[in-house]
Structure 1
């Protein structure tokens, strides 16, 4: 999967998209960020997943990742507080969020220029995107800025190795509903939050990560109105 190469965590969720950070910040001048963000999601040829209707808090969009041929490969929907790098101020501990990553299931295939092969996507792809996504919004409170890059490189390598070894001892099994059907996910916790990944219907894989919200008891469902996420509203109860 071209968009899941060992890129920096802050880039791993974005692939070739230009929408910027969470919610499409950094949009081109004159184009509303939320509108720009949702347009990428509307281009996808697969359904997006988010938390089911049991979650009644704020919902928001992050980014889509695209392959070299322009096809949408993955994207993320956010729930709760929008994560930010606030560890320096001690605010990280107060954040409560869950991000759901949807990854299109793709076979190995030739690159658009015919000169190489694009990797197949798998549950490991979802696990990698979720793990790197959690890293991108994590900043150990006591760490100096000068040491952050070394920390990121070390933790990114660990996340990649864990995603590449889903049968290893770093993962446990957690059953959660997907469209109302109990589904097994691979799950792991760390001091920074939790990550899970598994297969889903409709030709996609699901990854998720979060902090401050327990993964136990969550449920996933196809997003019926992705444009509603762009409005950053709290659904009516």
Structure 2
């Protein structure tokens, strides 16, 4: 699959190693990116917050995430007694620079290309990182997360498969086709923009069907 390396993805860590939201809020990495960042458009009026960026082996910023709504925590899916309304409501938008396969800055290696599949996989892993199945013992969560991460990788490599449907959502006001799937843990979607980036998103408690995406005009304002 033409996508970013799993070793570089830097999705939020599993429970026990997860960074606290306060540790995410540094705008420096976002400002270093040579591409525009995307978030939900102005129709969303709730809280917005920075998460973290991912870099290539040579330190170039390749992707990052911006959160909207409730700040998610790793939680047991049945912690709220199965009451959907009691669960956190959030949507996270992942921006991935569209890049071909290229040499690393020091010339010693080859960096993998990024694609819509890259955005789909990062979004899928992001959703999993804030999920803990109710029937699972705490001590087994790391094994579960590793297995589900591999499943997310396989799914992202087959965006035309039966596990995905298509959904048209506005990007900078222009209807854009996204690959979309739902699971017991939430939803994931991914597509491309005319601005030279791929956009992925994941969420829970907020419907994906009413969302729209737009370039963030001033990323420093999120700090």
Q: State TM-score, norm by structure 1.
A: 0.84
Q: 1:196 aligns with which of 189, 200, 220?
A: 189
Match of 2:6 in 1: 6
Question: Where does structure 1 differ by over 4 angstroms across 4 or more consecutive aligned residues?
Answer: none
Between the aligned partners of 1:111 and 1:186, the Cα distance in structure 2 is 30
Answer yes or no: is the 8 Å Cα contact 1:2–1:118 preserved in 2: no
- CA displacement at 1:3 relative to structure 2: 8.8
Closer, same or farther in 2 for the Cα pair 1:82/1:165, shift >3 Å?
A: same
Answer yes or no: is the 8 Å Cα contact 1:101–1:207 preserved in 2: yes
Whether 1:97 and 2:90 are equivalent positions in the alignment is yes
Answer yes or no: is the 8 Å Cα contact 1:22–1:61 preserved in 2: no
Between the aligned partners of 2:93 and 2:191, the Cα distance in structure 1 is 11
Match of 1:42 in 2: 31
Between the aligned partners of 1:69 and 1:159, the Cα distance in structure 2 is 26
Whether 1:153 and 2:146 are equivalent positions in the alignment is yes
Match of 2:69 in 1: 80
Superposed counterparts of 1:102-117, under 5 Å: 102-117=95-110
- CA displacement at 1:89 relative to structure 2: 7.8
Q: 2:60 aligns with which of 63, 71, 78?
A: 71
- CA displacement at 1:146 relative to structure 2: 2.1
Moved more, 88-97 or 42-51: 88-97
Answer yes or no: is the 8 Å Cα contact 1:4–1:12 preserved in 2: no
* Unaligned residue ranges in structure 2 (runs of 5+): none
Structural RMSD (CA): 2.4
Residues 85-116 of structure 1: per-residue CA shift (max 9 Å, x gap): 13288159511000000000111001233232
Between the aligned partners of 2:76 and 2:4, the Cα distance in structure 1 is 26
* Unaligned residue ranges in structure 1 (runs of 5+): 15-19, 26-32, 231-237
Between the aligned partners of 2:71 and 2:106, the Cα distance in structure 1 is 38
Closer, same or farther in 2 for the Cα pair 1:58/1:135, shift >3 Å?
A: same
What is the total number of aligned residue pairs between the two structures? 215
**Secondary structure of residue in 1 paired with 2:124:** helix
Q: 1:58 aligns with which of 41, 44, 47?
A: 47
- CA displacement at 1:5 relative to structure 2: 2.7
- CA displacement at 1:226 relative to structure 2: 1.1
Answer yes or no: is the 8 Å Cα contact 1:87–1:140 preserved in 2: yes
Match of 2:210 in 1: 217
